Structure 1
Amino acid sequence: MHISDVIGQVISLRDVQSVQVSGKDKKRVEFRLLEINGQSMACCLWGKYAEQLEEHLQKSNDSNVVCLIRFAKIGFYKGDVQVTNAFDASLIQFDPEFPETLALKLRVSNDEYALALTDTKREKRLRKDHTVHWNNVEIKSISEIMMAPVEEGCKIICLIECMDTDWSWFYFGHNSCKSKALILKSKEGGILFSNEKPLFWCTSCHATVTSVAPKYKLHMFVKDDTSTCKLMMLDSVRKLIVGCEAEELWDGSYDEIEDPAYLPQPIRDLVGKSLCFGVTLGSENVANGSDVFLVSQVCSGDKILQIE
């Protein structure tokens, strides 16, 4: 057990409960704190701290809360790291004016952020550990990969039906580490600047940065004769089918995309093409049944014939 400061977004919040402790009623609230690096940890607040969270939620009427706990007690409970207040010595703040707060609240959705982090890590692992020889891996149908029993790399030959415009076609990536960067804004909604450059929060370096550029993150609905699924293609393989950098298609605006259904012409031109994709089947596919697969390689038409 040790004492430390922790900050994160309140997720998986349970109802505040009154429990008997040494013959007295005491309030308790359990939730998880989602940190800026995408990891979450269990959190349990007791007594006045549970009441403070309850009061803040009632007053703000906003479930998107960032919580800073100073002098928090960090230990283990049922094999999981757990944060709790150190008796009455802890201090708690909600939505403190820190860059971490702005970065956490800027997420359009926690699922998107977590997925982006997971896929980036998986892509790096693939490059490092997997010198996959794509000419040698098996070609499978979409229905086969949907029912795959093991994590592996394989190829599918499919038609791009359409782009999933529920997602933006790009994200801002830190030029040094290539990780996702979140633009920082003031409470009034204005973009924060440093030396006339927009300020971003790098989710990997955990620091404010200005050296960023748009990176591809395409979500495509594809089909073959057996089924349909969704492919996600990150920036490392984008030029294989788009043919240019994302920055060349970017309109130069740092504001949120008002109409994600609008796509640059080179991306719209992908619809209707039949291609061979090398995809990785991860634990989220095999164990959790996700129908979103990460593209790790693209083969052109002439290579498809050689593979067959």
Structure 2
Amino acid sequence: MDERDRLAERFEAHRGHLRAVAYRMLGSLSEADDAVQESWLRLSRADTAEVRNLGGWLTTVVGRICLDMLRSRAALREEPLGVRVPDPIVGPADGTDPEQQVLLGDSVGLALMVVLDTLPPAERLAFVLHDMFAVPFDAIGPIVGRSVAAAKMLASRARRRVRATAAVPTAVPGADRARQREVADAFLAAARGGDFDALLAVLDPDVVLVADHGTHPASAVVRGARNVAEGAMRFAELAVYALPVLVNGAPGFVTVPDGRPVSVLAFTVRGRRIVEIDVLADPSRLSRLAPAILPPVH
């Protein structure tokens, strides 16, 4: 095995971690893979003789790549960001997909990803690297071109925005997930049956629904139990095609009326009430994500 092969082997040992960092930074699976690949290219060209902590070195490199990608994304966007649901991580309802467990680590619900998408790039990087991956601020500061104190302030601002959102933190594993599945199933049953009162019974009075239909005018943020329940009543026709899955570690559904997914729904449950529903129904993105989000056929 030559030196390059040994370096590639060492890189592969960190790939899962790097992809997890990039996904939280970018909210896009394809862009996360691009960022990880770029980190390998930079590693292969770098002199790593003095690098003692390869994992830490790669984490900061991926962070810098993702920051550049976020800034480019913002610069190219002519209109303000509208309703957008990040790429969901969809897995079997029994939670047995080991690759997705590595990618998600501690539960990173879709509701949290929606909030992260609203943060300025530097705030997002500081929060993700420090609060989610314990990267010290003296390593974060040089990435964003700020002092250590300024990097701490970026993370603090991001933390306040995250905590101000009622729906996060989201799902936790074990018995609580089973209770959340019961609540999600009750919502689906009520939607299928057109039972308005049953829908109200499982919705928090201040529930928020975020619906991403791409460029379609139906994209919207809907607030309040009655408004969300009224929308769910119109979902009854599609609800019969809903299949149970986990979406970013939380109970959800994929609707597959004709062999192709037309929507992914993620539920954030607190107690026995739904506090947020995130819906991805962008046809172009669902078509691209289809192989990763279709439940396995048994």
TM category, shorter: under 0.3
Return the TM-score normalized by structure 1: 0.27
More strand by share: 1
Bigger radius of gyration, 1 or 2? 1
What TM-score does the superposition give when structure 2 sets the normalisation length? 0.28
